[in-house]
A and B are shown apart, each in its own frame.
Chain A
Amino acid sequence: MSKEIPAHNLSIYVANRPGALARIAQTFSRRGFNIESLVVSAGATGDFSRMTITAKGDEAGLEQIIMQCSKLVDVLACREHTDEEVVARELALVKVAVDSAHRGEVLQIADHFRAKTVDLSEKSIVLEATGSSEKLDAMVDLLSKYKIIELVRTGKVIMARGERET
C-alpha cells in the first residue's frame, strides 16, 4: 500500500466577504491538496466566519498553503492544529433501511455510540450521532452491515483547548 498521506486540521478566521471561500479553496486546489471536509460557520461576531478544513497533503505543501492563506486580504488567521491541541467534534445523520426484524440490532449499535433516533418509519431509521470523526467512522462501519440509504456528515469542527487560540 502507498504511504498514508497525513490529514491536517486547519482553522481559518476570515472576514465575511464575498469570494473569501473561493480564494481559500483555490490555494488548496492549486497545490494539489484534497479537501476532506470544510465547515464554514459564523464567527463570534457576524462580520467574521470560521472555517475548519481537514485536508490531505505533504508538510511542505501545507506550510505553503498556510502562508498563502494567511496572506489573503480577508484572512485574519490561519493555523494548523494537531489532534492533541484541540477538541474535535463532528455530527452525522445516518438513514438506515431496517425492517422490524433488524430494528433492535440497529438500535443497539446506536445506543453503544450514544446516537439518537431522530426519525423512524416502517422501513427506515435516522440516527444522529456526534463525537470524534473516528467514532463516527466506527459507527458507520458497523451500520454498513445493514443498508445505509443516506449518510450526511458535517465534517470536523475543532476548537483549541485552554487559553490557546483556535
Chain B
Amino acid sequence: MTDVLDPPSVAERHEHHEEHGPTGILKWLTSTDHKVIGMSYTVTSIVMLVIGGAFAELIRAQLTTPNNNLVSLAQYNELFTMHGSVMIYLFMGPFAFGALANVIVPIQIGAPDMAFPRLNALSYWLYLTGAITMLSGFFVAGGAANFGWVAYAPLSNSVNTPGAGADLWIGGLLLTGFSAIFTGVNITATIFYLRAPGMTMFRMPIFTWNMLITAILILLAFPVLTAGLIMLYCDRHFGTHIFSVAGGGVPVLWQNIFWFWGHPEVYILALPVFGMVTEIIAVFSRKPVFGYKGMIFATITIGALSLGVWAHHMFTTGTVLLPFFSIMSLLIAVPTGIKMFNWIGTMWRGEVWFSTAMLMALGFLFTFLIGGLTGIYLASPPLDFFTHDTYFVVAHFHSVVMALMMGGMGALYYWGPKMTGYLLNEKIGKAQFWLLFIGTQVFTFPMYLLGLKGMPRRIGIYPNHPAWQNLNDWATVGAIMIGLSSVCFLVNIMYSWKKYPAGDNPWDGHTLEWFTTSPPPHHNFYRLPQIRSERPTWDYNHPGHSAAAHGHAGEVLIEKEPVS
C-alpha cells in the first residue's frame, strides 16, 4: 500500500532539464517554474500589502480628529480609492490565486509544474506591470484615480474625473484582469490534466478543490470586468455613451457589470483562504478534515450561488429585484455555515497544536464569523437601506478582509517553510498574531458603531460630533496595532532569515507537498507515495492507520469504497 517508486521512474515522467538554470535577476526574468513564479507573486503581493497598508494608516491618521487637515480632501479621495484598489486588485487577489496557489496546487496533486508554464510567467508579468501602471497614477498631473475602488458611473466619466490617473487605473486593471484570467485557465487545466496516478477528484486536498472552484469563478467573472473597463474607456475617450444618460446610456449598468464581477471576486479572495485554513486546522488538530465531501459540496455551492447575488450591493439604487437578491445572499450563509461547522468538527477532540499558523486560522474563524454575520444583516434590504454607505459597511467588509489576511498569514507560516526551506520564529509570530487579532477587533467594532450612528464612508473631514469622537480614536488605535503586526511579520522574516531549517515535513502534514523536499526540486518530486486517500503523505508516515479517512478518526476501514 505504501510502496514508493525509486527516483528514476518518476523522473522519467517528464523531460528533465534545468537543474542548473540561470540565477539572480535572470532567473526572475526567465523562469517558468511555478515555484519561482509563485515566490515572485508572494513577494510582490506583500509589497502591495505594505503600500496599501501605508495608505490605510494615512486614512486613519486623517480621521483621528474632526476637521483634521493632514491631507487635503482631493488627496483623501485618492487615498481611499488607491487603498481599496491596491488591497483588492493588487494584494489580496494575486496573493490568493497567484502566490500560494501557484506554489502549492501543482505539488498537492503531484504535478511537475503548472499546465502552461510560460502562460504562468506571462500572468506574473501582467500583474507586475498592471500594479506599476495603477500606482503610477500618483506621479501624473491630477493624481491617482479618485472615484473609489468601484469607479461608479457617472463619477468616473471624462467630465467628472478627467486626467491620466483614472486612465492608468483602468489600464492597470486591464493588465491584472488578463493576468487573473490566464491564472484561472492555468489552474483549471493543471487540476484537470496533471494529477498523479490515483489522485482522483475526490482525493484532492481541500485547498486544491477550493482553488479549482476559485479558478472557475475567475473565468466566469473577470471577463465581465474587462469588458466593462473597455466600455468605460470608450465612454471616456471615444464618445460612446454606454454609461451616460445624456447619450441614451444607463449609468446603473456599470454597477451591474462591476458587481457581477465584484461579488464573485469576494469569493475568489475568500475560497482560497478557506482552503488554506482547512489544511491548517486539520494538520494542527492532527485529524483528517471533518466532512471532507461536505466541505467540497459547500465550496461548489458557494461558488454557484455567488454568481446570482451581485445586486445586493445595489439595493439602494431602487432598480433591482430586492427579494431575489436578498434570498440568494441569505442562502450563501448555509454552505458557509457548513464550513464553520466542519472546521469546528475537525478540531473537536483533536490534539490541537497552537502554532502561529493555527492561531491565525482560529483568528480567521472568529473574525470571519463576525464579518459573515454582519453580512447577513446587510443582505436584508431594510437593514441595508439604513446602513448603506456608512461605516457599518466598511466595518463589515474589513472584518471579512482582515479575517482573510489572518488566514493568509497563517498559510505563510504553514507553507513558507515548504517554499523556502526555513521556518519563521514562533515567538515573533505569536506577537504578530495577537497584534493582528486584537487590533482587528479594536479597529472594526468602533466602525460598526460609527456606522449605526450615521457616519458616512468616504469622507475626509467630519464635524465635531460628540458621539463619533471616541470611536474614531479607537479605530485608529486598532489600525496602528494592525500596522505593528505587519512590522512584526517583516521583522520576523529578517530575524529568521535562514536560521531554522525546516526539514521536509515539519508539521506531520497530510498532503503531497510534505512528501517532497523543502524547497521542492525542479519538477517537484523525486518519488511519490501510493495515493489511496486524501492524505497520502500521512498514510505513508503512519502505515497502521492509513485508511482512517473521511472524518472517522480511529475507525479503520479495511477496503475503501472506490471514489471516482
Chain B associates with chain A: no
Binding site for A on B (CB under 8 A): none
